[in-house]
Amino acid sequence: MNTVDRKAELAANLAEVEARIAAACRAAGRARDEVKLVAVTKTFPASDAALLTDLGVVHLGENRDQEAGPKAAEVAGLRPDAAPHWHLVGRLQRNKARSVVEWAQEVQSLDSARLADALAKAVRAARDAQIRDEPLDVLIQASLDDDPERGGCPLGELAALAEHVTHTGELRLRGLMAVAPLGADPAAAFERLARAGERLREDHPNAADVSAGMSHDLEQAITHGSTCVRVGTALLGGRGLASP
């Protein structure tokens, strides 16, 4: 597909997603600007991410450091003035921390104290090397199904992990992220996440973000207080069977 056609396709998809977000906000009595849209560009080329920035998308998400680092650099080359905010939304191995802090403004998938320590150390090193001058925004990924395979911190351990994160000095705790459990009612899961967010804010009033909702469940997430929806398929199209 040529660039003009692809841009038109992305524009139409974006308009549809925007309409869904706006309708869900209206139905929930919330303001549209309470909900951030992160376009998840994983498996799609940097040219698509660049076109999304042309269409006004500010937040881009990726789930693998190996793919995201080069893509973020490519987008910066294609659109030097766009300065999108990159979010890591997938599982992160500690040995990738140094690389992640070179491209990500926010890590949404923090789920252990050891990973927090690795990220904080990487931020410190990047600041010393003048690769970045800001702390790293992080969300703690909460597990809503207690399935260790899918990542996330058990709800009962959130308070301790939050305390640990704030003591690293280099990480700014912005809130919680979660993926709805497979095969269960997403509304009930998002409600549990909202409660966990309320408890977190008793001790960490700035940790106000709740990242929840994807292409198929963003309405339920917004109903239950999401401040950040992460949308891939509905914006960019299907990723095919081989892709995560």
Nearer to ligand PLP (CB atom), residue 84 or residue 90? 90
Q: How far apart are the first and last CA of the chain?
A: 23
Instruction: Show the binding pattern over residues 197-226: x = contacts ligand PLP (CB under 6 A), - = does not.
Output: -----------------xxx----------
Assess 89 for contact with ligand PLP (CB under 6 A): yes
Q: Which residue is nearest to ligand PLP (CB)?
A: 232
Residues contacting ligand PLP: total by CB under 6 A: 14
The correct pick among 90, 152, 175, 225 for binding ligand PLP (CB under 6 A) is: 90
Q: Cβ of residue 211: shortest distance to ligand PLP, in angstroms?
A: 8
Helix (H, G, I), strand (E, B) or coil at 71: helix
The correct pick among 21, 24, 42, 49 for binding ligand PLP (CB under 6 A) is: 42
Nearer to ligand PLP (CB atom), residue 136 or residue 229? 229
Assess 231 for contact with ligand PLP (CB under 6 A): yes
What dihedral angle (degrees, nearest 10) is formed by the CA atoms of 17, 20, 22, 24?
-140
Q: What are phi and psi of 225, to 5 degrees?
A: 95, 10
* Burial class (CB within 10 angstroms; exposed 0-12, middle 13-18, buried 19+) of 241: exposed
Q: By the 8 A CB rule, do 214 and 17 touch? A: no
Tell me the residue type at 72: A
Question: Can you give the C-alpha Rg of the chain in angstroms?
Answer: 17
Q: Cβ of residue 224: shortest distance to ligand PLP, in angstroms?
A: 16
- Sole window of 25-33, 73-81, 142-150, 228-236 interacting with ligand PLP (rule: CB under 6 A): 228-236
Q: By the 8 A CB rule, do 230 and 214 touch? A: yes
Residues 169-188 that bind ligand PLP (CB under 6 A): 179
- How far apart CA 29 and CA 22 sit, in angstroms, is 10
Q: Which residues make up the interface to ligand PLP (CB under 6 A)?
A: 40, 42, 63, 89-90, 179, 214-216, 230-234
